[in-house]
C-alpha cells in the first residue's frame, strides 16, 4: 500500500509532557481516507496487533466492540434454530493474532435501555461482548463504559462494572493493573481508598480522572494506517501500553470533558470534545501515576463558602450595594474561580466552585435587598420626622445624609429661636376653646411657614411658644442671619394679620428671643418614644431673652453672639447689658431698628 503522507505532530506547550507509559493508535480521518469506508476488514486489526506485538508493546487495549463475526452470516437454505454463524477468514486471522500476541485486552460494554411493558416502564441491562473466539484468545476483557455526569461531561471512571452477577474491570484499571503486575481486586480497593470515593459526588466505586493535558497533547499518537503498514517508530510503543481506538469525528466517539474548553493544543479551537480512547488513556494514566483528584470534603466546602459569604457581607455593609458590586462581588467571584482552578490544576484539589459563587451571589443579592429595605424604612422614618419641621430643600439634604440625625448625639453650633405670644394666658381663660384653637393655629401657621422658608428647623410647640433652630441638622454658615431674617418677617406677617382682623378677633403680638452658641443635638426619650432635639445653655439663654422682651418693650431681642454674625445684614441697636437668670455675667443684648416695639 502506498502511503500518501504522514500526520503532523502537535508541538507541546511549555509545562506539559506526554505520558511515557501510554501511546495511542488512532483511527483518525487520515486513516479513514486512505483505508476506505468503516468498518474495515478484521484482518487489518490482526495486522496492527501483529506489528505492535513485534514492536514490543507490553499491553494492547482495543477500544472497539468486536461483537459477532464479520462477512456474510446469513443462514440461507436452513431452518435450524440452533444454527451459529461461522467465522470468516478475517475473523480467524484476528483470533490468531490475539492468541499469538497474548497481551491484548478486548473491550466489552454494559448499557441500560429503557423499555415499556404492561406493568410499567423498566430498565433493560444489555451487555455487549466480543465474539467468543476473540474472547478466548484475548488476555482478558475490560469494560469501556464512561459514566457521564448530569451535564454530559466525563469526569469519572469506574473501577468495575457488573453484568448478570459477574464483575468486569474497566479498561483503565485492567491496563494499569496488568502493566504493573498487580492483583486487580487489590488495585481497585487501593484506588478507591486513595481517590476519596466517600465524597457524595462519587458513587463509591469510581474516581475522578486527573486529565494530564488538553485534547491531543497527553499521549503520543500514531495513525492507524501507519501501524498497519509497519511504518512507525517502534520506540513509541516498546514497553508501553498501547490503546487502539477511534478519534475521527465521523465515528462519533467524542465526549465533553473538563479540559474541552481548553481546545485542541496548537490548533486554536475554542472547544474540543475528547475521543473516548483518549479519555481511557487519561484514566489509565491517573491510576498509574496516582494522579487522583482529591475532592474537598463537604464540611470544608461549606466552611469555605461561609467564609466567602461573611467577607461579602462585611464588604456590602461597609461599602453599600453599588460599590459592593465592583469592590466586593466581582473580586470575590474572580478569586473563587481563579483559586479553585489553580488548585485543581497545580494541586489536583477539587474545590466545588458553584457553592462559592452561589454563596457570594446570594449574599450580595439578599444583602442588597435587606439594606435597600432597611434604608427605605429609615428614609420613610426620617421623612415623617422632618417633613413638617424643615423646608423641602433642607429635607432633601437630610434624606441624602442620614448621619446628620445621628442618634448618639453630636455637638453643633447654631442659633436658637424662641417666640411667645403676649397675653395668651389671659386670652385662653376668657375665650371659648374653639376661638383659642383657631387663633393659635393662625399664629403657628405663620411661624412654621416663615421658619421653614429661611431654612430653620421647627423643634416643638409649647402652647403658644415656638422653638426652632437655624444651622442644625444641616449646617448653615449664615444661620444667625437666617434666624434674624425669619424674626423680622414673622413680625411683619403678624402686623399684616392684625390689619386684616375684625374687632372680635384677638390681636396677636409675639416676642422673639435669639441666641447663638454651642448645642448638643440628638435623639432623647425612652425605648417607646424618641424625639430629636437640641440641648444646652444656648437654648436656655434664647428662652430667657424671649421673656426679657417684656421688660425692655421690644419684640425681637438677641444676644451679642447673634448680633456679631448678623450686624452686616441688619441695622442693630445695642440695649446694653441685662441680667439673665442662670448666668453670673450680664449679657449685652441687641434689637433691630425699624421693627415696631411696644411697652
Contact 548, 457 (CB under 8 A): no
The verdict on 309 and 248 lying in the same domain is no
Retrieve residue 84's grid coordinates.
Answer: 451459529
- Run of H or E including 433: helix 433-453
Residue 14 in any domain: the answer is: no
What would the grid cell of residue 508 be? 396677636
The strand pair at 22-27 and 241-246 is best described as parallel
The cell for 413 is 453650633
pLDDT score for 78 = 53
Taking the whole predicted model, whether its pTM rises above 0.75 is answered as no
**DSSP H or E run through 300:** helix 298-324
- The string of pLDDT tens digits covering residues 441-457 is 999 999 989 998 998 98
| Whether residue 120 is found in the same domain as residue 46 | yes
Question: Is there a domain that residue 15 lies in?
Answer: no
Residues 216 and 334 in one domain: no
Range(s) of the domain holding residue 363: 296-385
Q: Are 67 and 109 in contact (CB under 8 A)?
A: no
In a domain, 237, yes or no: yes
| Spatial CA neighbour of 221 closest among 157, 161, 266 | 266
Q: Examine the fold and report which residue of 250, 272, 294 is the final residue of a domain before the chain moves on.
A: 294
The verdict on 437 and 559 lying in the same domain is yes
Same domain, 287 and 314: no
CA-CA distance, 450 to 493, in Å (whole number)?
9
Q: In the chain, how many domains are there?
A: 3
Whether 439 is in a domain gets the answer: yes
**Three-class secondary structure of residue 311 per DSSP:** helix
Q: Are residues 112 and 136 in the same domain?
A: yes
Residue ranges of the alpha helices (H) in 212-297? 224-228, 276-289
What pLDDT is attached to residue 525? 72
- The number of angstroms, rounded, from the C-alpha of 161 to the middle of its chain's C-alpha atoms is 39
Give domain status of residue 524, yes or no: yes
60 and 95 belong to one structural domain: yes
With a cut of 50, which residues of the chain have pLDDT below it?
A: 1-12, 14, 266, 268, 598-599
pLDDT for res 357: 93
Same domain, 118 and 188: yes
| 140 is a domain residue | yes
Q: Does the residue 393 lie in any domain?
A: no
CATH label of the domain that carries residue 489: 3.30.70.1230
Domain boundary among 338, 353, 385: 385
Q: Look at the alpha carbons of 566, 569, 574, 575 in this order and tell me if their dihedral is positive or negative.
A: negative
Please measure the distance between the N-terminal and C-terminal CA atoms of the chain and give it in whole angstroms: 132
User: What is the distance between the alpha carbons of residues 250 and 288, in angstroms, rounded to a whole number?
Assistant: 31
User: How far apart are the C-alpha atoms of 133 and 109, rounded to whole Å?
Assistant: 17
Q: Are residues 427 and 326 part of one domain?
A: no
Give the DSSP H or E segment for 113: strand 104-117
Query: Of the candidates 239, 262, 294, which is a domain's last residue?
Result: 294
Position 38 in a domain: yes
The reply to whether 304 and 287 lie within a common domain is: no
According to DSSP, the β-strands at 241-246 and 59-62 are: parallel
Sign of CA dihedral 305, 310, 316, 321: positive
343-390 pLDDT, tens digit each: 877 788 888 888 999 999 999 898 888 877 776 566 666 666 666 555
**Ramachandran region, residue 382 (left: φ > 0; alpha: ψ -120 to 50; beta: rest):** alpha
Q: Within this chain, do residues 309 and 419 fall inside the same structural domain, yes or no? A: no
pLDDT, residue 10, reads 42
Whether 444 and 418 map to the same domain: the answer is: yes
Amino acid at each position: 500500500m502506498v502511503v500518501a503522507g504522514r500526520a503532523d505532530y502537535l508541538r507541546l506547550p511549555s509545562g506539559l509532557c506526554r505520558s511515557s507509559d501510554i501511546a495511542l493508535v488512532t483511527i483518525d480521518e487520515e486513516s479513514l481516507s486512505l483505508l476506505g469506508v468503516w468498518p474495515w476488514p478484521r484482518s487489518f486489526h490482526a495486522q496492527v496487533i501483529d506489528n505492535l506485538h513485534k514492536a514490543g508493546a507490553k499491553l494492547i487495549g482495543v477500544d472497539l466492540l468486536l461483537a459477532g463475526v464479520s462477512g456474510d452470516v446469513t443462514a440461507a437454505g436452513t431452518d435450524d434454530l440452533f444454527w451459529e454463524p461461522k467465522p470468516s477468514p478475517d475473523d480467524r486471522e484476528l483470533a490468531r493474532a490475539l492468541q499469538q500476541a497474548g497481551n491484548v485486552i478486548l473491550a466489552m460494554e454494559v448499557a441500560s435501555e429503557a423499555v415499556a411493558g404492561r406493568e410499567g416502564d423498566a430498565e433493560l441491562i444489555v451487555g455487549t461482548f466480543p465474539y467468543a473466539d476473540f474472547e478466548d484468545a484475548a488476555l482478558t476483557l475490560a469494560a469501556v463504559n464512561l459514566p457521564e455526569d448530569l451535564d454530559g461531561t466525563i469526569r469519572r471512571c469506574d473501577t468495575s462494572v457488573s453484568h448478570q452477577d459477574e464483575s468486569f474491570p474497566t479498561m483503565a484499571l485492567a491496563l494499569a493493573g496488568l502493566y504493573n503486575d498487580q492483583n486487580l481486586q487489590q488495585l481497585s480497593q487501593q484506588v478507591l481508598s486513595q481517590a476519596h470515593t466517600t465524597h457524595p459526588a462519587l458513587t463509591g466505586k469510581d474516581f475522578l480522572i486527573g486529565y494530564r493535558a488538553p485534547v491531543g497533547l497527553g499521549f503520543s499518537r500514531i495513525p492507524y494506517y501507519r501501524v498497519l503498514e509497519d511504518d512507525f517508530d517502534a520506540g513509541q510503543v516498546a514497553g508501553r501500553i498501547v490503546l487502539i481506538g477511534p478519534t475521527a469525528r465521523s465515528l462519533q466517539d467524542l465526549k465533553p470533558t473538563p479540559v474541552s474548553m481548553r481546545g485542541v493544543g496548537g490548533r486554536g479551537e475554542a472547544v474540543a470534545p475528547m475521543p473516548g480512547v483518549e479519555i481511557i488513556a487519561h484514566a489509565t494514566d491517573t491510576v498509574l501515576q496516582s494522579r487522583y483528584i482529591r475532592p474537598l470534603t463537604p464540611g470544608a466546602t461549606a466552611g469555605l463558602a461561609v467564609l466567602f459569604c461573611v467577607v461579602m457581607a462585611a464588604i456590602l455593609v461597609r461599602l453599600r450595594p453599588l460599590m459592593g458590586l465592583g469592590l466586593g462581588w466581582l473580586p470575590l467571584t474572580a478569586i473563587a474561580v481563579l483559586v479553585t482552578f489553580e488548585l485543581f490544576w497545580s494541586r489536583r484539589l477539587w474545590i466545588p466552585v458553584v457553592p462559592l459563587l452561589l454563596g457570594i451571589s446570594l449574599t450580595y443579592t439578599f444583602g442588597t435587598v435587606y439594606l435597600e429595605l432597611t434604608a427605605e424604612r429609615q428614609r420613610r422614618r426620617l421623612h415623617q420626622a422632618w417633613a413638617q419641621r424643615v423646608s423641602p430643600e433642607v429635607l432633601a439634604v437630610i434624606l441624602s445624609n442620614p448621619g446628620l440625625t445621628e442618634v448618639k448625639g453630636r455637638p453643633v453650633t447654631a442659633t436658637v429661636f424662641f417666640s411667645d405670644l403676649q397675653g395668651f394666658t389671659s386670652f385662653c381663660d376668657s375665650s371659648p376653646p374653639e376661638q383659642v384653637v383657631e387663633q393659635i393655629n393662625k399664629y403657628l401657621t405663620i411661624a412654621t411657614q416663615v421658619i421653614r422658608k429661611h431654612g430653620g428647623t421647627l423643634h416643638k410647640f409649647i402652647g403658644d411658644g415656638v422653638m426652632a433652630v437655624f444651622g442644625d441638622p444641616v449646617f448653615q454658615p449664615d444661620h444667625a442671619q437666617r434666624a434674624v431674617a425669619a424674626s423680622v418677617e414673622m413680625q411683619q406677617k403678624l402686623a399684616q394679620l392684625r390689619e386684616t382682623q375684625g374687632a372680635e378677633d384677638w390681636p396677636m403680638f409675639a416676642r422673639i428671643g435669639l441666641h447663638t452658641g454651642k448645642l448638643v443635638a440628638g435623639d432623647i426619650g425612652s425605648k417607646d418614644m424618641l424625639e430629636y432635639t437640641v440641648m444646652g445653655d444656648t437654648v436656655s439663654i434664647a428662652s430667657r431673652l424671649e421673656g426679657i422682651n417684656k421688660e425692655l418693650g421690644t419684640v425681637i431681642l438677641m444676644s451679642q453672639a447673634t448680633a456679631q454674625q448678623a450686624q452686616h445684614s441688619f441695622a442693630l441697636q445695642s440695649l446694653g447689658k441685662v441680667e439673665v437668670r442662670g448666668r453670673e455675667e450680664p449679657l449685652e443684648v441687641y434689637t433691630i431698628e425699624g421693627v415696631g416695639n411696644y411697652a
